[in-house]
Amino acid sequence: MKKIILLMFILFWKFTDGQPNIQWKKCYGGSADEAANSVRQTSDLGFIVAGYSGSIDGDVTGNHGSWDYWILKIDSAGIIQWQKSYGGTGDDQATSVQQTNDGGYIIAGFSNSNDGDVTGNHGNYDYWVVKLNSSGIIQWQKTLGGAGEDKAYSVCQTSDGGYAVAGYLTNNADYFIVKLDAGGTTQWQQTLGGTGVDIATSIQQTTDGGYIIGGYSNSTDGNVTGMHGTSGASDYWIVKADGSGNIQWQKALGGNGQEQAYSASQTSDGGYIIGGISYSNNGDVTGHHGNSSYDDFWIVKLNTSGTIQWQKSFGGTNYDEATSVQQTSDGGFIIGGWSGSFDGDVSGNNGNKDYWIFKLDNIGSIQWQKNLGGSDIEEAFAIQQINGGGFIVGGFTGTNNDGDVTGFHGFYDFWIVKLLPYSVGIEEYFSSDAIVLAPNPTSDILLLKTIPEIGIIHLEITNPFGKKIYSQKLFSAQTEINLSNQHKGIYFITVTDEAGNKAVKKIVKM
């Protein structure tokens, strides 16, 4: 029987300014334009990045013509492990990526190519869904759509090993939701909306096997009710669907101006967090900064049935756009996007537009905010809390090596920033170096020993996708945990003391 002995803890004092510091930042690309639309942490603690590139030099090889899907696999320090261009001679842009349970990747976006890597185009732009293995080799690819302009903006792997894809069809300007099996065969598809324009930007499977779908609509008929917008202005349109894509409830959220939701996900209480932009200061929207010519981040917390629990506008008197929101391990929220403001909630702008990142508590109050960028344009499209409590941010930069930006290749580059965990004030924290695992890897039993003076601690073990497999409060100096029924692979131990200080360590199950 193999055993792991966990010896804890060494305490340190740390002085902070309430903002997370940059651990590293990297520009990736060539002399043409690149933009990263999606970034996710992978099971090896590196990252997968998806977007598009028009370059044939620098970091980019294999471009097929015009814009290609450009996919980067980088390690935890931001070093490129591999990069691939996918597409044809037309325009191919990846919008969403996720690591899959088999260690590969699922990518969605849109393409008007019908050559190179792309087959089966129906006319104009189609959804283009690509399944890669762990080395970036295409296992299958699928074009979905009709004769019009059809663009996918979000993909997620589902509990049955298949995939759900969301975007829109231009022929009827509806949400277009497609469920694929593990091999890319269509199982069902749904068009949702009214006679106006309805664009889905986000999909996530919910704990009941259904889906939460976010986007925006200016329809006042069909599936859409409760619209606030006037003169064709859109509302957030949030749809809760069952496992077959049938609407269980829908909500139009907004005021008489324009609202567009870009991110929607389920929260730990069974509700939902929604992020996007708003130009309104009436209806559901309060606290707008500046006049109605400029947009704010608009963050909305819904309960399980779609009723607003709280909503907040964030920004300044210039343009501010939220593109990504995620619940954090402390029950609050991390918000990413970009800002051109120098006032209101925004401070530290480096010039023009910056990545604007801020952290909310669980009732929507700002805990910290941070601008990242240089003298030109930066726009962030993806943010994720990563293992250990830091954050990864992705988008593009046009800054030629000033401010926070170094290594610029030309025109626009992917710009990926890794932030350290944040803290506020003076705190005690655990060093992960003080967690000793022996032996590691292990096969079955985890023997956990603690220093008695630490007192009560909370232990949590998660898999690489953040799913909790074990959670327990520890009151004694020694606890035995049986891992024999878990799959082989990488897991993470998080230990938290009564003051909320955390330490994280990786273990390998053989």
- Of 426, 453, 474, the residue that ends a domain is 426
CA distances (Å), origin 368, targets 21, 276, 340, 385: 12, 19, 18, 15
- Whole-model pTM above 0.85? no
Average pLDDT across the chain, whole number: 90
Q: Are 130 and 141 in contact (CB under 8 A)?
A: yes
Is the Cβ–Cβ distance between 20 and 51 less than 8 Å? Answer: no
Cα separation, 109 vs 111, whole angstroms: 7
Helix (H, G, I), strand (E, B) or coil at 193: coil
**Domain stop point among 426, 453, 483:** 426
Task: Compute the distance between CA of residue 101 and CA of residue 508 in angstroms, rounded to an integer.
Answer: 17
User: Phi first, then psi: what are they for 310, rounded to 5°?
Assistant: -160, 160
Banded pLDDT at 5 (limits 50, 70, 90): very low
Give the residue from 399, 426, 453 where a domain finishes.
Answer: 426
Say if residue 365 is in the same domain as residue 464. Answer: no
pLDDT value at residue 302: 98
pLDDT > 70? residue 388 = yes
C-alpha span between 357 and 337 (Å, rounded): 7
In eight-state DSSP terms, residue 432 is G
Same domain, 473 and 387: no
Task: For residues 252 and 379, state if they share a domain.
Answer: yes
154-to-157, 160, 170, 214, 353 alpha-carbon distances in Å: 11, 18, 17, 10, 25
274 and 395 fall within a common domain: yes
What's the CATH code of the domain at 472? 2.60.40.3110
Residue matched to tokens 């390690």:
75
**432 and 323 part of one domain:** no
Whether residues 309 and 434 share a domain: the answer is no
Could you tell me if 338 and 461 lie in one domain?
no
> By C-alpha distance, which of 172, 118, 134, 132 is closest to 150?
172
Q: Are residues 378 and 305 in the same domain?
A: yes
- Same structural domain, 102 and 172: yes
478 and 419 within one domain: no
pLDDT tens by residue, 58-105: 999 999 999 999 999 999 999 999 999 999 999 999 999 999 999 999
C-alpha angle with apex 41: 260 to 360, nearest 5 degrees? 50
Q: Where are the beta strands (DSSP E) in 101-258?
A: 105-111, 126-132, 138-144, 150-157, 163-169, 174-180, 186-192, 198-205, 211-217, 235-241, 247-253
Number of domains in the chain: 2
Cα–Cα distance between 410 and 30 in angstroms, integer?
6
Higher pLDDT, 437 or 149: 149
What pLDDT score was predicted for residue 476?
Answer: 60
Q: Are residues 431 and 343 in the same domain?
A: no
Same domain, 355 and 458: no
Q: pLDDT, tens digit, for every residue of 201-242?
A: 999 999 999 999 999 999 999 999 999 988 899 999 999 999
Nearest 5 degrees, angle CA 427-CA 468-CA 365?
45
Domain of 432 in residue numbering reads as 5-11+427-509
- Give per-residue pLDDT as tens, 259-286: 999 999 999 999 999 999 999 999 999 9
What CATH number is associated with residue 399? 2.120.10.30
